[in-house]
Structure 1
Amino acid sequence: MKFIQVVSILCLAAAAVQGQAPGRRCANPIVRKEIRQLTQGERDAFFNAVKTLQSQGQFDKFPADHLQNSPTIHGNAIFLPWHRRYILEFERALRRINPSVTLPYWDWTMDSQDPAASQVLTGNFVGGNGEGDSKCVATGPFARYNMNVPNRHCLRRDFNRGNSISSWWPVESMRVMTNDAQSYRDLREGLEFGQHGNVHLGVRGDMEAMYAPNDPIFFLHHAMCDKVWSVWQLQDPTNRVYMYDGEDHQGRSVTLDDTLPALPGRVGDMMDQYSQNVCYEYTTSLYDQGMRATAPQPSRNVNNDNSPPPRDAQTGNGNQQVTPQRGNRQQEQQREDDDGFLSDDDSFDFAPVRRRSYRVTAPGDNGPSYNTDEAKPQSPKHPRKGGKHRKAKLSPPERLPESWIKMNCLNATRVRSFEDRHFSIIEAINNLEDYVPMVFRSVTDAIEPIIDGTGLLADSLLDGLLGHSHSSKDRLSSADGFPTYQK
């Protein structure tokens, strides 16, 4: 098969990473890549480090700590900073074994419409579904692995639809979720009510229990959740890096001084990924193309001592809680008008669905990051017929079951409100005449607007949504007939 080599948005990240927050002190952040951006050697090093961690008896601490602290770390404000510290500790344990290893993330928006067909869930990556009555994983680097938490058993996966997995939220929905988030609480709830649970419940097996860290997929998944938080923070670093609000598991108002159960440090230590306590950054992927930052990014000069300090530094020692700042309505409207939605001056070419083979590599990297045979765009629900493209439709995910909502200490009313809103969004997307969801586009389709400067955006779907004209005031909101997300 002849390969088409392109400079992909999925791989630009190997050389170009997210902009850094002001006041950074970390000169050499390690780089976390999407797992399909790793070379074969990098993947093998990661898998071998995980297996060494287990053989040395150091792995079990991670699922045990997660299980024992589960009531305090889910369904409340500490969810994101706790898991940021948790996966950082896991990454550091791996790097003590092999200093070249970094924790990869899984950009599940690339696989939202057919997760089980993802290259990630193959023998060359983390392995696939469990087999037989036992549902033990039988392929990949963790085949026939035995776990010890909460008792001795094989590593299990049991896809929620037999040999397939129900759809997950697409990148367009994730875009709306992050644009909705004007506070830390909004962002955290959007993740917990949405993709966090969908991925756990799609893979199932160990992943649907509170000892889910038995499965290395857990760490790839939570690295992606952390990336979503990171992207949101860096869209408005002055206000968002140290933004932290909401309640803890006992209903008390939270502060940056709150400690992290079973982990070292405070919440405030985990807010700035470019601090010396954290010191990592993420490559870009399809998710970033769907999000497109709504605020200018700071310079990446990590040694710029003249950068303004983060919000906490402006108040003294960094221990103060940062209250979400919404600003006045005029300022909010201006931000909305600049956030990438279509206005009278915007243009957008709807991309046809084209099934292509492609090969993408990082600049300066001779190794393949995305295999051409396996990393194709996902098949549309309605392929071409008679030479004419038919509408490719998104399938919505399943609702979170009551048992998951209860286990994760979530507010069922708020979860259902979130789901209803985003089901309506997917329905509206599917009713658009010409819009092709990003997951169905080829890599070339996705990157052409970056190269030619037209700025292809996932949420350009708002053009003509519900019969509206091209206007900067066209917004995905209750005014457009969508249910309002209940605060």
Structure 2
Amino acid sequence: MKVSTIIAGLLPLASLIVAAPGCNDVEKVASKKIDQLQKNYQKYIEATIKKRQTGCTSKNILRRKEWGKLSKKERTDYIEAIYCLNRKPGLTPRSEIPGARSRWDDFVGSHIQLTPVVHANGFFLAYHRFLIWEFERALREECGYKGTQPYWDWTLEYEDQTKSTVWDGSPSSLGSNGVYVANRSAISVRLPTETLVFPPATGGGCVQSGPFTADKFTINLGPIGYEPKGPEGGLGFNPRCLTRDFNPELSRTSLRPSNITALLDCPTYACFNRDLDKPNRKPGFGVHGAGHFQFGTVQLDTFISPSDPAFWVHHTQLDRIWTIWQNQDPAVRTYALWGTQTTGNFPPSANVTSDTPVPFGHISPPIPLKNLQSSIDGPHCYIYE
């Protein structure tokens, strides 16, 4: 059953939260707790791989960094690798996705095809963990990138994301807000179990500055999740600029340090997954949805959200949070299971098991779920610094 939800009333709530006495103290305490839990996680990973001679070892582990800790050279190297993937011929057959043209589109195409089976379910975190790993591998092995996939810790600038070096529009950023477009209508976004309606925010047009303006970067697929859809239901070739519509209230209400500590306090995997999205908390969202929706336009469309570089630094942050949660009790949590095999269990489907194959489209053959849950076993070998 679809339920129409109007995303309104966030500003008054946000104002109350920001102005609440002691609120900043709460967030400072939460930040310190996250830092300590990350240090504990790092110690566990380093101790585990130190004993190894094969597989993931201290010599070959990839060390992922927060965007703000990268040098300008490291940031521009990452941006150049994104350009490279967007130029390289893709592998997706046009018989399946007619508009796919590039290796970048291969990753967007996988997400398009599998959106109905890899969100709000037992595949969600593992699917995206491996998708990021393959994206990182492609950047390094196909485009000569020497770094690792960065993450953006949105708690550092939750009060104003435009102050972040990720979104300040400089040449070493991932771009800016879109040009402000007046007199726009709300966007009605179709999800498997509900419809969300987003009123216009602070931008709406093409990204106005930085490396991903219309003369430097285009996206080819969609829209799919809202009207008007692109040609051939959003699967056709539809080259256009990258658009954004920053909504600061979503960041202020849902991406605070205390939102992460609440997640990390979850005693079960079911709780952790549920609270990532927390659909029953109104107004506001869980950190997964808010991290996408704060960018508007392209990031409102679940299917094509990887078209925007924002997707990759946001989902890497989510993966970081998952690793920290797992390693608070690794014996129990690393291979914990929850959920079914369809998004929101719509239509109803079987529960996942450790041996259930996770699909990846043309990114990879299916992989058993148990091979994807660890960040240092199976195909993965990385740590968050």
TM range (shorter): 0.5 to 0.7
Alignment partners' CA distance in 1, 2:156 and 2:43: 19
Structure 2, unmatched stretches of 5+, are 1-30, 89-101, 182-203, 223-237, 279-285, 343-347
Partner of 1:49: 81
- Counterpart residue identity of residue 270, structure 1: L
Deviation (angstroms), 1:137: 0.9
Matches within 5 A, 1:135-284: 135-144=205-214, 145-150=217-222, 151-160=238-247, 166-179=252-265, 181-193=266-278, 194-209=286-301, 210-249=303-342, 250-261=348-359, 262=361, 263-264=364-365, 265-283=367-385
**SS of corresponding position for 1:31:** strand
**Are the aligned partners of 2:118 and 2:124 in contact in 1 as well (CA < 8 Å)?**
yes
**Alpha-carbon distance between aligned partners in 1 of 2:340 and 2:43, rounded to the nearest angstrom:** 29
Alignment match of 1:78 (pick from 110, 123, 130):
123
Deviation at 1:115, TM superposition (A): 2.4
**Contact kept in structure 1, 2:158 and 2:251, CA below 8 Å:** no
CA distance in 2, matches of 1:94, 1:32: 14
Work out the CA distance in 2 between the residues paired with 1:190 and 1:58.
33
Distance in 1 (CA, whole Å) between partners of 2:35 and 2:87 is: 33
Counterpart amino acid of 2:157?
Answer: D
Q: 1:54 to 1:18 in 2, by over 3 A?
A: farther
Looking at structure 2, the residues matched to 49 and 146 of structure 1 have their Cα atoms a distance apart, in angstroms, of 15
| Offset at residue 132 of structure 1 (A) | 4.5
Are the aligned partners of 1:116 and 1:165 in contact in 2 as well (CA < 8 Å)? no
What is aligned with 1:101? 147
Which residue matches 1:304?
none
Give the whole-Å Cα distance in 2 for the aligned partners of 1:167 and 1:123: 24
Instruction: Let me know the Cα RMSD of the aligned residues.
Output: 2.6
Please state which structure has a larger fraction of its residues in helix.
Answer: 2
Distance (whole Å) between structure 2 residues aligned to residue 141 and residue 11 of structure 1? 31
Tell me which amino acid in the other structure corresponds to 1:148: N
Residue 419 of structure 1 corresponds to: none
Aligned-partner SS, 2:166? helix
Q: Distance in 2 between matches of 1:129 and 1:189?
A: 30
C-alpha deviations, 1:439-473, integer Å up to 9, x for none? xxxxxxxxxxxxxxxxxxxxxxxxxxxxxxxxxxx
Which residue in 1 is equivalent to 2:56? 26
- Flag the 1:18–1:130 CA change in 2: closer, same or farther, 3 A: farther
Equivalence for 1:122: 168
Find the counterpart in structure 2 of residue 444 from structure 1.
none
Q: How many residues align?
A: 273
Asked whether the 8 Å contact 1:122–1:128 carries over to 2, the reply is yes
Counterpart of 2:219, as a letter, is: M
- Supply the distance in 2 between the matched residues of 1:143 and 1:19 (Cα, whole angstroms): 42
Q: Deviations over 1:44-83 (max 9, x none)?
A: 1110000011011211111121112111111111110000
> Does the 8 A contact of 2:77 with 2:145 survive in 1?
no
Matched letter for residue 76 of structure 1: N
- Opposite residue 47 of structure 1, the aligned amino acid is I
TM-score, length basis structure 1: 0.52
Contact between 1:113 and 1:168, CA under 8 Å: does it hold in 2?
A: no
Q: Could you tell me whether the CA contact under 8 Å between 1:270 and 1:277 is conserved in 2? A: yes
CA contact (8 A) 2:299 2:305 kept: yes
**Separation in structure 2 between the aligned mates of residue 159 and residue 18 of structure 1, nearest angstrom:** 37
Q: Distance in 2 between matches of 1:65 and 1:130?
A: 26
Q: Distance in 2 between matches of 1:136 and 1:279?
A: 36
Q: 1:223 to 1:90 in 2, by over 3 A?
A: same
CA–CA distance in structure 2, aligned partners of residues 258 and 246 of structure 1: 12
- Out of 43, 65, 69, the position equivalent to 2:110 is 65
User: How far, CA to CA, are the matches of 1:71 and 1:206 in structure 2?
Assistant: 18
C-alpha distance in structure 2 between counterparts of 1:196 and 1:240, whole Å: 20
Tell me the TM-score normalized by structure 2: 0.66
> Structure 2: which amino acid aligns with 1:19?
Y
Q: 1:165 to 1:234 in 2, by over 3 A?
A: closer
- Corresponding position of 1:112: 158
State the shift of 1:160 in Å: 2.8
Amino acid at match of 1:197: G
Deviation per CA, 1:76-132, whole angstroms, max 9, x where unpaired? 111100000111111111011124121000001112222233232112311110114
Q: Structure 1 unaligned runs (5+)?
A: 1-7, 284-487
CA distance in structure 2 between the partners assigned to 1:17 and 1:42 by the alignment: 22
Secondary structure of residue in 1 paired with 2:321? helix
Compared with structure 1, are the counterparts of its residues 221 and 161 closer, same or farther at alpha carbon in structure 2 (3 Å cutoff)?
closer
C-alpha contact 2:122 2:339 (8 A) present in aligned 1: yes
Return the index of the structure with the highest Cα Rg. Answer: 1
Percent of residue pairs identical: 33
Asked if structure 2 preserves the Cα contact closer than 8 Å seen for 1:234 and 1:240, the reply is: yes
Cα 1:99/1:119, change in 2 over 3 Å: closer
How many Å apart are 1:168 and its aligned residue?
2.9
